[in-house]
Amino acid sequence: MTVTKSYFSILFFIRRTRLLKNGEAPISLRITMDGQRAEMQIKRSVDEKHWNASKGCATGKDRKTMELNQYLDMLRTKIYQIHRELQQDGKPINADILKRQLNGEGDTPKMLLEVFREHNKKYRELMGKDYVKGTVLRYERTVRYLEEMLQAQYRMSDIPLKELNHEFVKNFEHFIKVEKNCAQNATVKYLKNLKKITKEALINKWISDDPFQEIRFHQTQSNRDFLTEEELNRLINKEIDIPRLEVVRDVFVFCSLTGLAFTDVQHLTPEHIMQDNTGGYWIRKPREKTNNMCNIPLLDVPRLIAEKYKGHPECIKRGVVLPVPSNQRMNSYLKELADICGIKKNLSTHTARHTFACVAIANKVSMESIAKMLGHTDIRTTKIYARLLDRTVSEEMNVLRQKFCV
């Protein structure tokens, strides 16, 4: 007999193809919840002729049959009791958990989202101390994406960590790329966040198998645009009579000559600009992304841009150096600005940071100094810009190569 209560069902059934030595069929239990099944044998058997499949019980009035049916009723009642207690305690429930509890396997298994949320809670408490806001938000977004995938593909609100496997990881990768439209490098970041939780589960012996075994992360080399000195000077010297584009040009140039990332220039305050004992001006500011300190000499052009906006209403209101628009508006206006200045490159807020590094390298500034100004802890990150310059040299030399080919 199938008994349904709210959103889970209990079914007792026999396997007629797997008869025991005494000729009877073993009885199995199936718990179905939110489309997920958990099955187990109950260590009882019955003559297949005396089994009512539609009612899920034995037929007859003899003592043996009555005792068997009483046992089935007891199991059914016990499952409902376990479900009710888990619900009252606010604990996660699925078919596998009900089965484990019925078998007396102790505490409910560790659940993926439950563990992940606890991890994120600790990270949020340490935000601004050990972790930056962007890192915390990405972990929280990973949980949200996992929750959406579990609901859509598994019809579950959570999943035991023990049930994670290679297939689950691959399904998550596919979900991120297709449903969330993430590129390869962004997808890898979300997968690494999930891997951190499974690694913690392995250390704590909550799981015995690594679902990421044999899975390798492959990040693509991003094609980063930057402006040459000639293009940057063209932008600086361009007469612009549209106020919103003038602001965007000034913010972009400021970042191109300081190396500040968009979020850093957004939060740049007058307190971050100081003068040394020789009269030189410096920007001393921790990066919003990593909290690494940046020490950047303030050149004349960006210093004059900062002076220009001292009395700007938005700067006074927010207590910042520049009236920086939103990232979306900046990127939209930069495309318009590139057209006006005849620059055939896809400008974005991050192009300015690349421009700073490449112009500095072209002017013989050491890689170590550039790394310090950009707030890079690993110089290999800074060396990416040197490779960009190599590409540019190669492209420019192609012109000569064609002229002097044999």
Q: pLDDT per residue over 232-260, tens digit each? A: 999 999 999 999 999 999 999 999 999 99
For residue 280, is it within any domain?
yes
pLDDT at 134 (0 to 100): 80
Q: Which residues contact 290 (CB under 8 A, 6 or more apart)?
A: 132, 375, 377
Choose among 49, 59, 46, 81: nearest CA to 1. 59
- Does 396 score more than 60 pLDDT? no
In this prediction, residues 123-141 reach a mean pLDDT of 86
In this prediction, residues 64-78 reach a mean pLDDT of 92
In this prediction, residues 314-334 reach a mean pLDDT of 94
Q: What DSSP state is assigned to residue 8?
A: E
For residue 223, is it within any domain?
no
- Does 327 score more than 60 pLDDT? yes
Same domain, 47 and 118: no
Q: Is the pTM of this model over 0.75?
A: no
Same domain, 269 and 131: no
- Does 381 score more than 80 pLDDT? no
Predicted confidence band of residue 18 (pLDDT cuts 50, 70, 90): confident
pLDDT at 5 (0 to 100): 43
H-state helical runs in 224-274: 229-237, 243-256, 262-266
Same domain, 126 and 33: no
Query: In what helix (H) or strand (E) does residue 28 lie, and over which residues does it extend?
Result: strand 25-33
Predicted confidence band of residue 362 (pLDDT cuts 50, 70, 90): confident
Choose among 229, 234, 222: nearest CA to 362. 229
For residue 208, is it within any domain?
no
- Does 1 score more than 80 pLDDT? no
pLDDT at 167 (0 to 100): 95
Same domain, 149 and 293: no
Written as six digits, the tokens of 77 are: 């009642």
For residue 391, is it within any domain?
yes
Question: How far from 179 is each of 113, 116, 145, 146, 297, CA to CA, in Å?
Answer: 19, 21, 9, 12, 44
Same domain, 244 and 381: yes
pLDDT at 253 (0 to 100): 97
pLDDT at 388 (0 to 100): 61
Q: 76, 102, 128 — which closes off a domain?
A: 102
Same domain, 272 and 379: yes
- Does 6 score more than 70 pLDDT? no
CATH code, 276: 1.10.443.10
For residue 215, is it within any domain?
no
**Residues 27-65 pLDDT 10s:** 999 999 888 889 999 989 999 999 999 999 999 999 999
For residue 220, is it within any domain?
no
- Does 89 score more than 60 pLDDT? yes
In this prediction, residues 214-218 reach a mean pLDDT of 89
pLDDT at 333 (0 to 100): 94
Helix (H/G/I), strand (E/B), else coil: 5 = strand
Predicted confidence band of residue 398 (pLDDT cuts 50, 70, 90): low
Ranges 186-190, 237-241, 258-262, 361-365: which has the least confidence = 361-365
Same domain, 323 and 369: yes
Mean pLDDT, the chain, rounded, equals: 88
CATH code, 163: 1.10.150
Predicted confidence band of residue 3 (pLDDT cuts 50, 70, 90): very low
**Residues 276-297 pLDDT 10s:** 999 999 999 988 877 788 899 9
Residue found by looking up tokens 């078998």 in the block: 103
pLDDT at 391 (0 to 100): 57
For residue 312, is it within any domain?
yes
Same domain, 384 and 262: yes
Residue 238's domain comprises 229-403
Higher pLDDT, 267 or 394: 267
Number of domains composing the chain: 3
For residue 213, is it within any domain?
no
Question: CA torsion, points 249, 254, 257, 258, in degrees to nearest 10?
Answer: -150
Q: 42, 74, 102 — which closes off a domain?
A: 102
Question: Which of 126-140, 144-158, 214-228, 313-327 has maximum average pLDDT?
Answer: 313-327
Same domain, 76 and 179: no
Same domain, 183 and 253: no
Q: 102, 124, 144 — which closes off a domain?
A: 102
Same domain, 191 and 300: no
Same domain, 88 and 116: no
